[in-house]
A and B are shown apart, each in its own frame.
Chain A
Amino acid sequence: MSLDDALAAWAATVRLPDAAADGIYQRIVMTPAPGGKQYGGLGRTWWRDFSADFAARMITSTRRVPWAA
């Protein structure tokens, strides 16, 4: 057995088994991606954005308008 053969055999003992690599892959892709809008659903900040926008419109709507004064 040459050095290269021994190295190749050693490499096989330290390499990550495919099943373990697939498990890692699955765990990663199950994690929500930043800016979940890529999935076509609601983004993670939609409620905060909606509430802020709604509150801003409410405040604006209660201000006295100059021409009606």
Chain B
Amino acid sequence: MDREAEFRELYEAHRDAVHAYFVGRTGDRWLAADLMQEVFMRVWQRLPAVAGRSADGQRAWIFTVARNLAVDTYRRERTRAGAEAALGHERADAPPPASAPVIAAERVAVVGEAIRQLPEEQRVAVTMAAAGGLTSAQIAAALDVPAGTVRYRLSLARRTLSAALAAYDQPAGTAEER
């Protein structure tokens, strides 16, 4: 297999997961795309070191790079965040499709907002599962934490998201009547 074909295989296998990880960390899919590009650029430059590994080994290598990059970016962004907050800058994700029924779109928005407000560790786990398509074991290997920890984070996140949907479904004023 030539170099580019080898890289293509790696890229297709891991790009969604890496992108989902950065969406979980940053909350911004386009910033996540930039970071994902940087990770795969490093994969491209170090391909012989990565391609010879097992699928799990490749994932571990790639996510070690991703985690380090996230830490570096976080340090840089911390200073910029203050300025953006002062300017009222708001990162916007793509809105739900206009053709979707309003009620369904609103529920998606409720879930999106609830995910945004989750603690970062839960947000990363739930994003990697939902958008990256990873199992809890794969997330655990990628983040280098025990699988039980990931399952616990996912469970807490799902509980919070279910509560947010339940609150949305509750007719207005019901809470006050109790």
Given A7-B111, A8-B130, A14-B131, A21–B95 Cβ distance below 8 Å? no
Per DSSP, are chain B's interface residues mostly helix, strand or loop, or mixed?
helix
Q: Which B residues lie within 8 Å of A24 (CB)?
A: 15, 33, 36-37, 40
Q: Is A34 an interface residue (CB 8 A)?
A: yes
A28 touches B131 (CB 8 A): no
Quote the shortest CB–CB distance from A38 to chain B (angstroms). 6
B108 touches A16 (CB 8 A): no
- Within the assembled complex, what's the spacing in Å between the Cα atoms of A24 and B111? 29
Query: What interface size band does chain B fall in?
Result: 35 or more
B104 touches A1 (CB 8 A): yes
Given A24-B36, A24-B37, A13–B47 Cβ distance below 8 Å? no
B3 touches A16 (CB 8 A): no
B104 touches A29 (CB 8 A): no
Quote the shortest CB–CB distance from A23 to chain B (angstroms). 9
Q: Is B7 an interface residue (CB 8 A)?
A: yes
Q: Is A65 an interface residue (CB 8 A)?
A: no
Q: Is B74 an interface residue (CB 8 A)?
A: no
| Residues on B facing A (Cβ under 8 Å) | 3-4, 7-8, 11, 15-16, 19-20, 23, 29, 32-33, 36-37, 40-41, 44-45, 47, 93-96, 100, 103-104, 107-108, 110-112, 115, 126-127, 130-131, 158, 161-162, 165
Contacts A3-B111, A3-B158 known; list 16 others, CB within 8 Å: A6-B111, A7-B111, A7-B161, A8-B130, A9-B111, A13-B108, A14-B20, A14-B93, A16-B15, A25-B40, A28-B11, A29-B4, A33-B3, A33-B45, A33-B47, A38-B3
